[in-house]
């Protein structure tokens, strides 16, 4: 698998579609790998004339895991942002490193959830590299402004606390999370979700510390509302609250 480098960080990526297609970079969310962008969806984008690249964020999948940074937990980063080992600007730099590895001067940037935050930061910090911004089920505000309901938090903690000891456990955990965050208006493909969870575990099982480091970075990065309002880049899907 190709590797992009941002300093000491290695970022695994893969590309689909004709090299002469419109460059499109897909950025993944918290605690998930590039496989969260389903193969059939990526293929459909390639069929529409895009040259599509998806990649694993740092602390996910086959990219570098900052194990030496330890586990900040969930509380410490909320009261002391220095506990976060990096920020959204760092992630945006990772995405730019992928563009550099591909030889892309500019690209359409699309991200979901955390990936939407990274895409927003790219538009703010690297406008010359951002052709358009698509921010999906994400937010430019501080994290505390988009906290879910207490009942949802309890269920999230229950899912997170359920041991995952193999691909089938990962498949069921992925499905449980999608059922919680989805809506009956848009029925999910349960076998597709199970397959993504299963394959992700087989690529890299990850651990709690990886997830907490990413969440700490979100907390420490603060609001992008004012900075994003000043950006003059076309937005295909406006940033919205989850």
pLDDT digit string, tens, across residues 129-155: 999 999 998 989 765 555 678 888 788
163 in any annotated domain: no
Q: What is the pLDDT of residue 83?
A: 76
Query: pLDDT per residue over 11-23, tens digit each?
Result: 999 999 999 999 9
Residue 32's contacts (CB-CB under 8 Å, 6 or more residues apart) are 60, 200
Distance between CA atoms of 216 and 234, rounded to whole angstroms?
29
Q: Return the SS3 of 157.
A: helix
131 in any annotated domain: yes
73 in any annotated domain: yes
179 in any annotated domain: no
Query: pLDDT per residue over 167-182, tens digit each?
Result: 999 999 999 999 998 8
Residue 61 contacts residue 200 (beta carbons within 8 Å): yes
- Total domain count, the chain: 1
Residue 25 belongs to domain spanning: 3-141+208-237
Query: pLDDT per residue over 40-97, tens digit each?
Result: 999 999 999 999 999 999 999 999 999 999 998 766 666 566 778 999 999 999 999 9
159 in any annotated domain: no
């Amino acid at each position: 698998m190709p590797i992009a480098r941002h300093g000491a960080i290695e970022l695994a990526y893969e590309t689909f579609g004709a090299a002469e297609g419109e460059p499109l970079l897909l950025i993944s969310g918290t605690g998930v790998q590039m496989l969260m962008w389903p193969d059939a969806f990526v293929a459909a984008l390639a069929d529409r004339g895009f040259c599509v690249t998806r990649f694993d964020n740092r602390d996910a999948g086959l990219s570098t895991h900052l194990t030496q940074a330890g586990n900040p937990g969930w509380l410490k980063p909320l009261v002391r942002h220095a506990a976060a080992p990096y920020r959204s600007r760092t992630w945006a730099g990772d995405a730019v490193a992928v563009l550099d590895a591909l030889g892309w001067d500019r690209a359409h940037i699309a991200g979901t959830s955390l990936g939407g935050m990274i895409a927003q930061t790219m538009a703010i910090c690297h406008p010359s590299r951002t052709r358009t911004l698509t921010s999906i089920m994400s937010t430019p505000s501080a994290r505390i402004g988009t906290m879910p309901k207490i009942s949802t938090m309890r269920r999230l903690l229950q899912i997170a606390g359920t041991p995952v000891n193999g691909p089938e456990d990962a498949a069921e955990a992925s499905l449980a999370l999608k059922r919680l965050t989805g809506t009956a208006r848009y029925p999910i493909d349960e076998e597709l979700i199970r397959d993504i969870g299963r394959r992700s575990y087989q690529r890299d099982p990850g651990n709690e510390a990886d997830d907490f480091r990413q969440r700490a970075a979100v907390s420490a990065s603060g609001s992008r509302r004012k900075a994003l309002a000043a950006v003059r880049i076309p937005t295909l899907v406006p940033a919205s609250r989850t």
